[in-house]
Structure 1
Amino acid sequence: MTAALPWLEFALCAIAIGLAGPVLTQYGDVIARLTGLSRSWIGLVLLATATSLPELFTGISSVSIARVPDIAVGDALGSCVFNLVMLVLLDELSRDEPLYRRVDQGHVLTAGFGIVLIGTVGAIILIGRGPLSVQFFHVSIYSPLLALLYLVAMRAAFQYERRTPQPPQILRTGSDLSLSDALLRYAAAAAVIVAAGTWLPFVGAQIADTMGWQTSFVGTLLIAGATSVPELVVSISALRLKAVDMAIGNLLGSNLFDVLVLAIDDLAYRDGPLLSSVSPVHAISAFAAVVMSGIFIVAMLYKPATRIRGTVGWVSIALLAVYLFSAYAAYLHGH
């Protein structure tokens, strides 16, 4: 019973995040429309930020309270890989027309910035030690660079969006609400995610101790899977509403925000530069996400139509293969 208790707590946290995530997204969309924000901006910024709140609060709790930095980094980078492997599920659910023939070409820009940001994180993990570890007080000099790259990516996406026609509004739920009501419900859902995200690192540390696993493995696979539940639910819901661009924008935008989360985690981590203090195995997740983003860009430009038995195409098989390789590598290191 003692060994099962951490797993029960993990399941409760995942369920809480899974239930609060769609609510957060629903009222985030209402806020966007009531304040006049751009429609296509919802998927990339507002939804991506909303569904990435679990990674943010899990990371802060991991480094500042639970003192398990490997869970924070594993969660952020593992979530990036999870978000990209979700494209396989979206491709399988997109039966009427191949997924990559339905989406806007502008996602190439976001995926390209994802390669730059996540690749930079992977490089810092490998080389940001010894003579190359430069810090100001306890914060790595590379963290402001990550934050700057994120802002550049957001500005570039905004400038691109201004030059292109806006897609129609997709999500309509709650349009009769006032802005104050929407903000209140948004905050209530966020509070649930904050509570679950804050508790997850402690649960992950218990699971690691109970099972004899490394915290890097637990963070990359288990915690990242739990905190990626909102992206999964929101993306599937958007696809069913034929809002495929919103679904893709949410996934790719979440990857950009997860890199910003690492910079914020570095500020909260008092024992030195965060990325210099964790296992180098996290670079596997970073470079897996880079390769998967590259595969996505190739698919966007080539737009393959061939599907295996009417289900998924070679792009999805390639994405799944990279994900399985990175998960197996994390598993070997974790044992």
Structure 2
Amino acid sequence: MVVAWLQFFACMAVIAVAGPQLTRSGHAIARLSGMSQGWVGLIMLATATSLPELYTGISSVALANAPNIAMGDALGSCLFNLVMVVVLDALSRDEAVWRRVDQGHILTAGFGVILIGFVGALLLVVREGFDFRIGHVSLYSPLLLLLYVIAMRAAFHYEQRPKALAQETYEAVEGETLGRAVQQYVLAALVVAAAGAWLPFAGLALADAMGWKTSFVGTLLVAAATSIPELVVTVMALRLGSADMAIGNLLGSNLFAILVIGIDDIAYGQGSIFAAASPAHAVTAFAGSIMAGILIVALLYRPGNRFFGVISWIGLALLAVYLLSSYTIYLHGH
């Protein structure tokens, strides 16, 4: 048990150390390339911070034969990312965070509702005779990959539209170049990925030692650990004054997590991951869709009132859905 916990926390520590470097290099790339901070957060930071989910998922299904860890990690990360919005709002004391970001994030959040909800439906319908496969690969997995590409293409075209807001200006930093920023980004991303590859083995050891269900371990512990990069990068982005980069990273990571599920299914050689994983994960998926919907309401309505000057009703709603879904997966997971 002690060894399992030490391995688990060692992976978290490595990820937490590499996270700030990702943020700084992403911020530098935005300054030096002319790309918007929202786009850098959606594509570059979201991809890099989601590499633990990718490596954890593949190693879970291909090496550890733990489809519940893989599915729980991906869907649990979606919930964890949306809970981080509450942290952003609490840290954004002068003005609510949804009042500081571009409403174009509604597009990404909307695709999140579609993709996460679709996975939740698949976890249920494959048990009702709708498990269509070619070999061991579910026919739904290529559809997930296609939907991800459509979402990224839509976000890209939206980003190209003329903006009414003035272009952001940055002060030049001595000795800073685009090539150096990209090198730092790649190095930090590799460190994050390496730590994420070991997480499922520590998670399985914890589940066995503590007597926990693997679906619960995947949804809570492993998902929290693989979401450490998003947490660190998001907080750092907000402190650098880029709320758009922070929100873009979280929402982009959710889309990437669903892409990871499709890749996990291809890597899982024993059948469809949607059939092998516990149907209790559908609760997590539907909770993620509800939370993304709540965020869309926040981005449209832009409420500014807070309870005790710390948390808004949007934040309370997000927390309530997260806690209820976590308790449900603990009770009914496999």
Q: TM-score range by the shorter chain?
A: over 0.9
Paired residue total: 332
CA contact 1:91–1:99 (8 Å) conserved in 2: yes
Measured at CA, do residues 32 and 88 of structure 1 come closer, stay the same or move farther in structure 2, by a change above 3 Å?
A: closer
- 2:292 is equivalent to residue 293 of structure 1: yes
Identical positions, percent: 58
Equivalences for 1:199-210 in 2 at 5 Å?
A: 199-210=198-209
SS of 2:277's equivalent in the other structure is: coil
Structure-2 separation of matches of 1:142 and 1:129:
14
Measured at CA, do residues 145 and 34 of structure 1 come closer, stay the same or move farther in structure 2, by a change above 3 Å?
A: same
Q: Of the candidates 81, 102, 105, which is equivalent to residue 103 of structure 2?
A: 105
Structure-1 separation of matches of 2:333 and 2:5:
17
CA contact 1:25–1:51 (8 Å) conserved in 2: no
Q: Mind listing any 5+ residue stretches in structure 2 that lack a counterpart?
A: none
Equivalences for 1:132-147 in 2 at 5 Å?
A: 132-147=130-145
What amino acid sits opposite 1:214 in the alignment?
K
Measured at CA, do residues 321 and 50 of structure 1 come closer, stay the same or move farther in structure 2, by a change above 3 Å?
A: same
CA contact 1:170–1:241 (8 Å) conserved in 2: no
Equivalences for 1:1-335 in 2 at 5 Å?
A: 3-31=1-29, 37-165=35-163, 168=168, 176-177=176-177, 179=179, 181-333=180-332
Structure-2 separation of matches of 1:37 and 1:301:
24
Structure-1 separation of matches of 2:215 and 2:174:
40
Measured at CA, do residues 183 and 159 of structure 1 come closer, stay the same or move farther in structure 2, by a change above 3 Å?
A: closer
Structure-2 separation of matches of 1:327 and 1:300:
25
Structure-2 separation of matches of 1:327 and 1:257:
21
- 1:101 deviates by 1.8
- 1:333 deviates by 2.8
Scaled by the length of structure 1, the TM-score of the pair is 0.93
Structure-2 separation of matches of 1:82 and 1:236:
14
SS of 1:297's equivalent in the other structure is: helix
CA contact 1:30–1:174 (8 Å) conserved in 2: no
- 1:178 deviates by 5.7
Structure-2 separation of matches of 1:50 and 1:172:
25
SS of 1:312's equivalent in the other structure is: coil
Q: Deviations over 1:195-232 (max 9, x none)?
A: 21111111011001101111111000000000001111
- 1:141 deviates by 0.3
Structure-1 separation of matches of 2:252 and 2:326:
22
| Root-mean-square deviation (Å) | 2.1
CA contact 2:82–2:291 (8 Å) conserved in 1: yes
Structure-2 separation of matches of 1:236 and 1:172:
23
Q: Deviations over 1:1-34 (max 9, x none)?
A: xx22211110001111111222234334545665
Structure-1 separation of matches of 2:174 and 2:117:
39
Scaled by the length of structure 2, the TM-score of the pair is 0.93
Q: Deviations over 1:22-69 (max 9, x none)?
A: 223433454566566554310111111111111111111111111111
Structure-1 separation of matches of 2:311 and 2:133:
46
Measured at CA, do residues 169 and 293 of structure 1 come closer, stay the same or move farther in structure 2, by a change above 3 Å?
A: farther
What amino acid sits opposite 2:123 in the alignment?
I
